[in-house]
Structure 1
Amino acid sequence: MTEPTRASSADAGGIADQLDAHDLAEGSRRLSGQVRIVGSGLLGTSIGLRLRQHGVDVILDDVSPAARSLAIDYGAGRLPAQGDQPTLVVVAVPPDVTASIVARELQAHPEALVTDVASVKVAPLVELRALGADVSRYIGSHPMAGRERGGAVSARADLFIGRPWVIAGHDDISYRRAAAVEDLALDLGATPIEMTPDEHDAGVALVSHVPQVVASLMATRLAAAPDASLELAGQGVRDVTRIAASDPALWVQILGANASRVVDVLRELRVDLDGVIDALDAPEAPGARRAVAEAIGAGNGGVARLPGKHGSTTQFSSVIVLVDDTPGQLARLLTEIGEIGVNLEDLRLEHSPGAPVGLAEVAIVPDQEQRLVAELERRGWTVAGAFA
């Protein structure tokens, strides 16, 4: 998942008290009753922060008392107490212990619906059935949201807004009984998507797990690269390697739990890569240039299918503007784009080492490109390029 460079994020501290335009009044929330969250890392704490904004009574638990206390200090919930009766339990722990924790929570809270937010869905369900757990009260789910950094210190109450939240139903649970998980996703600002566990795991192998492997392997090439080469780095290599800073221990678990589906995609990728290598080994051979062109062209077709803003597949034009690297200049650019009356669809920032300017690449609908360029230049901005 490629995202634009963002301004430095605020810590989680105080987020629960900072209501913004997305926040709903307590009376309009969908969930009722207590929500118990097991696991106080990035996802668990972010869920707690958002639910607390809605006035939900959130109970936090974690195998690490220190991690739990930190999440509570940030305002994501409270300590467990005698007499707690959660109606929903959210298990937010690493994949290798997800099933065992879900089974424990099902037994400890016989009236509660239990979900997990692990990034694989087939393996926990299979293991729970093998353990003899009551899966009529369990349904797996997975928010397609995250950050490069983990832990409560990186949590955000707005982490899930506008993001897909997969609800992986199975034959042993009814839609009505699982409705609380959909309510959870909606209260968090996410978009619920129904999939089977198999569909989910195949999907994340393609759009999440394999990209992680590719990013990490590409980033490995940089480790021993000459400093002079790295000084040439632009946004392209940063985009490709952005997620390579992820936690190796967590990804060993994720990839291991979804190994067969990841391997299927990697094998197809290897075939394509071998084709490009063969063509570039003999670039003057008949058909070599065509093979390279078709490989690049096929990528154009694939990226065009990625949904953009509001799920749209509309292709946007990009306008690149030089911005002085001084306080307030980026804010002025965005303000003036708004004054011109052009809707900003996306924003990317790039800085060249030692340069006193940055490049702001703004994405807009194509029919507004000429007007925006003309108006920005009239206002004194330098437009470095515009392309569809």
Structure 2
Amino acid sequence: MSDRLTGPVEVIGTGLLGTSVALACRRAGLDVLLTDVSAEHVRTASALGAGRARAAEDRPQLVVVAVPPDHLGVTIARALDDGDAVVTDVGSVKAGPYAAVAAHPGASRYVGGHPMAGSERSGPLAASADLFEGRPWAVVPHPGSHPDAVALVEQLVAICAAVAVRLTPEDHDRAVARTSHVPHLLASLAAGRLADAPADHLRLSGQGVRDVTRVAAGSPELYGQIVAANADAVLGLLGEVRGELDALIAAIAAADGGALASLLEQGVAGTRAIPGKHGGPVRPTATVFVSVPDEPGVLARLFAAAGEAGVNIEDVRIDHDLGRAVGLVELLVEEGRDEHLRESLESRGWATHR
């Protein structure tokens, strides 16, 4: 087994993630073989320059399995059966696939993987060679993974311009339950309260409810598979949430302001725990609100005006006016730079709000 990735690389599953991996590998000059139950997807990915359909005589060095969660274990096992290639995957759960192949005689050639990247779109036409750039990519070896196999997968991560993060299968699944799966479920519950709401209630919707519910728009079928595959870790966290929800209900019913404040403070502490820009500590920010017309090019002009003022935009949010073609842009800037930016924008004719 070589620890140097020279190809060919086979990608099984030419959806968004698989085709994006294939495009990144082709950009690096590697021969890429494409396999999918959908011949149409293979033709589309090939036409995009992602590689070529695998022929019977082809022998890949590395296989990347990019199929739905329900099919991961069996597809990884078949890839291990087919020659002596190193096999990885891009699935969002790791303990289950490992358990499915742990007794396989070629299990040392399997190293789990999970790129933390995606899109609200799906299929090969949504793919991009840049999809993973700068994003975390969990590399998840099991105790029997061969070091050369791990090195090969980490080279794939580098080719995709992602940042490798080593985790065990169990730690990975607990981590994604905490940072992805349970938040998605809670967002779905919150969004569900809106489904049958009266129209006049929904007219009060602001950016806050959009922020809380955005991820709930994902595919129910796919996310149902993901959550079911990570049931143990998800159930443990949901049990904690249920206990805190009961405490929250009791605090509100008893008008216990202290208990309510304590529970809300836990939420504040959680937001502060999320890594800041470029993975560093969270830095204090201030907000400048700017009214802008809903027309082409206006955001480019606003950002240019901020640049002329010498202020870096740390983040941006937009809330749209329900009754007019106007948006309220929320610019987050380094604390202490907000007043300078506000004055600079006003001098250039922008309407700001506090």
Q: Tell me if both proteins adopt one fold, taking TM over 0.5 as the criterion.
A: yes
Identity %: 47
Secondary structure of the equivalent of 2:75? helix
Partner of 1:252: 224
Question: Per-residue displacement from partner, 1:322-365 (whole Å, max 9, x unpaired)?
Answer: 11112211110011112222222222222122322112222222
Q: Which amino acid aligns with 2:31?
A: D
* Structure 1 counterpart of 2:266, from 282, 291, 298: 298
Preserved contact between residue 5 and residue 61 of structure 2 (Cα < 8 Å)? no
* Structure 2 counterpart of 1:197, from 164, 169, 172: 169
* Structure 1 counterpart of 2:277, from 306, 309, 333: 309
Partner of 1:379: 348
Structure 1 position 44 matched with structure 2 position 18: yes
Partner of 1:168: 140
Preserved contact between residue 352 and residue 358 of structure 1 (Cα < 8 Å)? yes
Q: Which amino acid aligns with 2:331?
A: V
Alpha-carbon RMSD: 1.5
* Structure 2 counterpart of 1:232, from 182, 204, 207: 204
Partner of 1:3: none
Q: Displacement, 1:39?
A: 0.3
Partner of 1:323: 292
* Structure 1 counterpart of 2:234, from 245, 262, 265: 262
* Shift in CA distance, 50/198, structure 1 to aligned 2, threshold 3 Å: same
Q: Displacement, 1:82?
A: 4.1
Structure 1, 152-161 or 212-221: larger mean CA deviation: 152-161
Secondary structure of the equivalent of 1:36? strand
Distance 2:183 2:53 in 1: 38
Secondary structure of the equivalent of 1:177? helix
Structure 2 counterparts to residues 347-386 of structure 1, below 5 A: 347-385=316-354
Q: Which amino acid aligns with 2:143?
A: D
Preserved contact between residue 63 and residue 87 of structure 2 (Cα < 8 Å)? yes
Q: Displacement, 1:73?
A: 2.3
Distance 1:257 1:299 in 2: 27
Distance 2:133 2:296 in 1: 29
Preserved contact between residue 37 and residue 89 of structure 1 (Cα < 8 Å)? yes
Distance 2:181 2:219 in 1: 13
Distance 2:182 2:352 in 1: 36
Distance 1:86 1:145 in 2: 25
Q: Which amino acid aligns with 2:274?
A: L
Question: Per-residue displacement from partner, 1:153-196 (whole Å, max 9, x unpaired)?
Answer: 32222211111100111211233331111111111111100010
Question: Per-residue displacement from partner, 1:276-327 (whole Å, max 9, x unpaired)?
Answer: 11122232xxxx1111111111111110110121102223222221111122
Partner of 1:183: 155
Partner of 2:249: 277
Q: Structure 1 residue runs of 4+, over 6 Å off?
A: none
Partner of 1:343: 312
Aligned length, in residue pairs: 350
Partner of 1:68: 42
Distance 1:258 1:210 in 2: 10
Q: Displacement, 1:125?
A: 0.6
* Structure 1 counterpart of 2:98, from 125, 130, 143: 125
Preserved contact between residue 37 and residue 59 of structure 1 (Cα < 8 Å)? yes
Distance 1:236 1:209 in 2: 20
Distance 2:155 2:289 in 1: 41
Distance 1:211 1:147 in 2: 17
Secondary structure of the equivalent of 1:353? coil
Structure 1, 264-273 or 315-324: larger mean CA deviation: 315-324
Q: Displacement, 1:48?
A: 1.5
Partner of 1:147: 119
Partner of 1:17: none
Distance 1:51 1:344 in 2: 33
Preserved contact between residue 109 and residue 146 of structure 2 (Cα < 8 Å)? no
Gaps of 5+ in 2: none
Structure 1, 301-310 or 347-356: larger mean CA deviation: 347-356
Distance 2:271 2:324 in 1: 31
Gaps of 5+ in 1: 1-29
Distance 1:128 1:82 in 2: 24
Q: Displacement, 1:380?
A: 1.5
Preserved contact between residue 8 and residue 30 of structure 2 (Cα < 8 Å)? yes
TM, length-normalised to structure 1: 0.87
TM, length-normalised to structure 2: 0.95
